[in-house]
Structure 1
């Protein structure tokens, strides 16, 4: 209820905001109340990278517990798509790798940092007719959820620069045919922005 009141206040103040800012505020509030996909990122450090940093992205072969089975390298793929917009020097492993192998490939490529990721948890709920026909379990109805873990490691010293945990959940308006891996692109791009110190503009005005 409080979030809806805040949303209405944002709309009432629309004359004082840009259209783009107002739209972003509305989207944020709708995700906060569960209508749209929502994510929460917790970082250990607020370390920032230089824009010309060379980052090698890899994903562990860990299979997350839960009812979903995301494709093996999806976190690395989505992280690459999010990071390439902000860091021109980015490369990605073609398949899941162990940490030692990922570090070796990052060093071989000449990368300054290794971004090592994994899907720690993925729970895919019943969100379409086929899934309901297959499971027919009322307690499985609902929105998908997932957890991603990230380590940012300096390749030269193997020092852990940052560690992050991204928790995501679907929204009531976006749950149809949705999967946990469909929710990770936006928070991974936001994490890339945070490494450059770029925040949400409408929140900083």
Structure 2
């Protein structure tokens, strides 16, 4: 009798929602509860770019406060890895640049848009035994970071869009992670939103 009841419940749930939808809902719930990584992206505009747009990606030399020093060009590297999946023409600056220098390089390469990024905040908590021995025990916790991005049209210097990504780690992803490890998924989501693609 119990097995029949479980089969009936499974069929009822399966008829309402696909397996992929159930997986996405479970992931969202676990992220909200702090078990998995979580991010929130806020955009200034809802502007869409053409899929064949040439995007130049650069990171500002700003060092986030808080005593943590991520790799100098890590945001641009993560953004490049995310955007190359959706934009066929993407180029990245090899080192951090000021805004004027980044715009000049983007124009020099013939890029339509400059994606200018920076780490606004970064909190790298203790996430492995080596860090635990080097730092205080009160630094044990979940990593977090804030990234700011601007999409600027290179010819007119017009600000097309501005976005802020707030990311935090989860309890299951605590070990051996850095704030930069949280950037990949929200940047892919942002690249998709610039194209108006949901998945």
Q: TM-score, normalised by structure 1?
A: 0.88
Partner of 1:92: 92
CA distance in 2, matches of 1:53, 1:75: 20
- What do residues 12-40 of structure 1 show as CA deviations (whole Å, max 9, x unaligned)? 83443222222122112111110001001
Structure 2 unaligned blocks of 5 or more: 1-11
CA distance in 2, matches of 1:32, 1:162: 27
Superposed counterparts of 1:189-204, under 5 Å:
189-199=188-198
SS in 2 for 1:173: helix
In our comparison, the structure showing a higher alpha carbon Rg is 2
Partner of 2:4: none
CA RMSD of aligned residues (A): 1.3
CA distance in 1, matches of 2:14, 2:141: 33
1:84: Cα distance to partner? Answer: 0.9
CA distance in 2, matches of 1:125, 1:67: 11
- What do residues 87-141 of structure 1 show as CA deviations (whole Å, max 9, x unaligned)? 1011111111111110001001111100000011110112222222222332x22
- What do residues 170-200 of structure 1 show as CA deviations (whole Å, max 9, x unaligned)? 0001001111000001111110000011225
Paired positions, count: 188
1:46 is the counterpart of 2:46:
yes
CA contact (8 A) 1:68 1:180 kept: no
Structure 1 unaligned blocks of 5 or more: 1-11, 201-205
1:170 is the counterpart of 2:169:
yes
Partner of 2:153: 154
CA distance in 1, matches of 2:25, 2:52: 31
SS in 2 for 1:66: coil
CA distance in 1, matches of 2:181, 2:67: 15
1:185 is the counterpart of 2:184:
yes
CA distance in 1, matches of 2:13, 2:96: 48
Q: TM-score, normalised by structure 2?
A: 0.90
